[in-house]
Amino acid sequence: MRLIKVFWHKLTYLLLLGFSTFIFATACSVGINNHATSLLQPLKDCRLIQHVVGKTCIPKNPNRIITVSQFTLGNLLVLGLYPIAGASALTDLNGFPSYLETYTKNVVMLGNQYQPSIEKIALLQPDLILGWEPIRKIYPLLSQISPTALVTWKGTSSWKEHFQFLAQALGKEEEYQKAWRHYFQRIKKLKIALNDRYKDKKISIVSFSSSYGIISWVKSSFPGSLLNDIGLQQPKAQDVILPRGDRIYGISEERLQEVDGDILFILTLRERDSKKLEQLQNKPLWKTLKAVRKGQVYTVDVLTWLGSNLLAADAVIDDLYKYLVNKP
């Protein structure tokens, strides 16, 4: 009789131990995988999407969105959504572009879009994190905090695909169509204002970098695509669609004539880059450029002209009115 009691006591202990282990393992598994794929949320409350890293079930009505990409931030604002936090465009900047100032007064800064502060993100308790492909290495950490989706990014040439993906993922197709209608209305009005005065003119877009030298922005770039939509031409060297990319790096001073035009827009940002431009402007070669001789060289904000969303497009169109239509 005593042997039977000992047997049952040991069996009960083993069953309880096994059950506890199962519960613990299940809890850990849920903790690890819940946001990694976000498949454990009821499908009626979220939208299952495929993105760069995998599948995520995005809440249908998120109200605490965090963006880890300035391009994503701008596109969300276009769709009428206001993130609670976002990241700056570059590692040495700590703010948002000027064209977004009125929209980002209450947006918490998370650092730069390549290395955002994970601690800040966790403390903000978002219900959705939207980022871009370059941060895929920290996706497992972000997905522990909240459902996370990363958008493909292939340079500013992929800006339209980026916008379309976000609109579909968030169920904002109506807002998406409305935004495009506004854009093409502005394009139409600008074309009328320009008339035919720039029909045979070439408009060049370049930037000067202390690290990469002279950079030429081609037709497949964000600003290049805007000029193309408007019907404005770029120089032959920029009138190209690159299979991968939106710019040509490292153009030497001796080749500067290749990116000369009747009008020259220069994208500037950092003081050290502006100094490089100043050095070139003091050389005889600079004075031989057609745009320089005509006095049609204009310095514009690089974060706006590379903004890659329709709010940035609005700001670029404003610049084109300023320099091409309303110029005295």
The pLDDT of residue 279 is 87
The pLDDT of residue 43 is 55
**What would the mean pLDDT of 42-71 be, rounded to a whole number?**
90
Contact 201, 233 (CB under 8 A): yes
The pLDDT of residue 32 is 34
Domain assignment present for residue 270? The answer is: yes
Helix (H) or strand (E) run with residue 5 in it: helix 2-37
On the question of pLDDT at 290 being above 90, the answer is yes
The reply to whether 224 and 313 lie within a common domain is yes
The reply to whether 202 and 321 lie within a common domain is yes
Domain assignment present for residue 16? The answer is: no
Residue 43 or 269, more confident: 269
pLDDT per position as a tens digit, 145-175:
999 999 989 899 999 999 999 999 999 999 9
Give the domain-ending residue among 122, 137, 153: 153
The reply to whether 138 and 235 lie within a common domain is no
Domain assignment present for residue 274? The answer is: yes
The reply to whether 49 and 145 lie within a common domain is yes
The reply to whether 234 and 146 lie within a common domain is no
Which one-letter DSSP state was computed for residue 107? P
Contact 206, 214 (CB under 8 A): yes
- The values of phi and psi at residue 43, to 5°, are -60, -25
The pLDDT of residue 327 is 79
Residue 255 or 31, more confident: 255
The reply to whether 65 and 137 lie within a common domain is yes
On the question of pLDDT at 266 being above 90, the answer is yes
Work out the pLDDT band at 93, boundaries 50, 70, 90.
low
The reply to whether 212 and 268 lie within a common domain is yes
Domain assignment present for residue 114? The answer is: yes
Domain assignment present for residue 261? The answer is: yes
The reply to whether 146 and 229 lie within a common domain is no
3-state helix vs strand vs coil in the chain, percent to 5 = 50, 20, 30
The pLDDT of residue 91 is 62
Q: Treating both helix axes as pointing N-terminal to C-terminal, what angle do 310-320 and 70-78 enclose, rounded to 10 degrees? A: 90
The reply to whether 125 and 245 lie within a common domain is no
Rounded to whole angstroms, how far apart are CA atoms 293 and 137? 49
Work out the pLDDT band at 71, boundaries 50, 70, 90.
very high
Rounded to whole angstroms, how far apart are CA atoms 317 and 223? 10
Domain assignment present for residue 8? The answer is: no
The pLDDT of residue 146 is 96
Of 193-197, 252-256, 278-282, give the range with the top mean pLDDT: 193-197
- The residue segments making up the domain with residue 224 are 197-325
Helices (H) and strands (E) in the chain, counts: 11, 12
How many domains in the chain?
2
Q: How many CB atoms lie within 10 A of CB 124?
A: 17
Residues in the chain: 328
Domain assignment present for residue 173? The answer is: no
The reply to whether 139 and 256 lie within a common domain is no
pLDDT per position as a tens digit, 214-247:
999 999 999 999 999 999 999 999 999 998 889 9
Distance in angstroms between the alpha carbons of the first and the last residue of the chain: 109
Helix (H) or strand (E) run with residue 264 in it: strand 263-268
The reply to whether 141 and 218 lie within a common domain is no
On the question of pLDDT at 53 being above 60, the answer is yes
- CA distances to 51, 69, 72, 324 from 113, in Å: 18, 5, 10, 34
Which one-letter DSSP state was computed for residue 79? T
Rounded to whole angstroms, how far apart are CA atoms 21 and 28? 11
Q: What is the 3-state secondary structure (H, E, C) of 174-233?
A: HHHHHHHHHHHHHHHHHHHHHCCCCCCCEEEEEEEECCCEEEEECCCCHHHHHHHHHCCE
Residue 273, helix vs strand vs coil: helix
Give the domain-ending residue among 137, 153, 169: 153
The residue among 143, 116, 169 whose CA lies nearest residue 53 is 143
Long-range own/partner contacts, residues 80-84 (CB < 8 A, 24 or more apart): 80/172, 80/175, 81/170, 81/172, 82/107, 83/107, 84/108, 84/124, 84/126
The pLDDT of residue 131 is 94
Domain assignment present for residue 162? The answer is: no
Give the domain-ending residue among 94, 127, 153: 153
The reply to whether 202 and 306 lie within a common domain is yes
Quick check: pTM over 0.75?
yes
β-pairing, 55-59 vs 46-50, is: antiparallel
Q: Treating both helix axes as pointing N-terminal to C-terminal, what angle do 222-230 and 173-194 enclose, rounded to 10 degrees? A: 60
On the question of pLDDT at 95 being above 90, the answer is no
Residue 5 or 94, more confident: 94
Mean pLDDT for all residues in the chain: 86
Work out the pLDDT band at 271, boundaries 50, 70, 90.
confident
Least confident of 24-33, 254-263, 290-299: 24-33
Contact 198, 106 (CB under 8 A): no
The pLDDT of residue 158 is 93
Rounded to whole angstroms, how far apart are CA atoms 182 and 179? 5
Those residues whose C-beta lies under 8 Å from the C-beta of residue 233, and which sit 6 or more positions away, are: 201, 202, 203, 227, 239
Work out the pLDDT band at 28, boundaries 50, 70, 90.
very low
Q: CATH number, domain at 62?
A: 3.40.50.1980
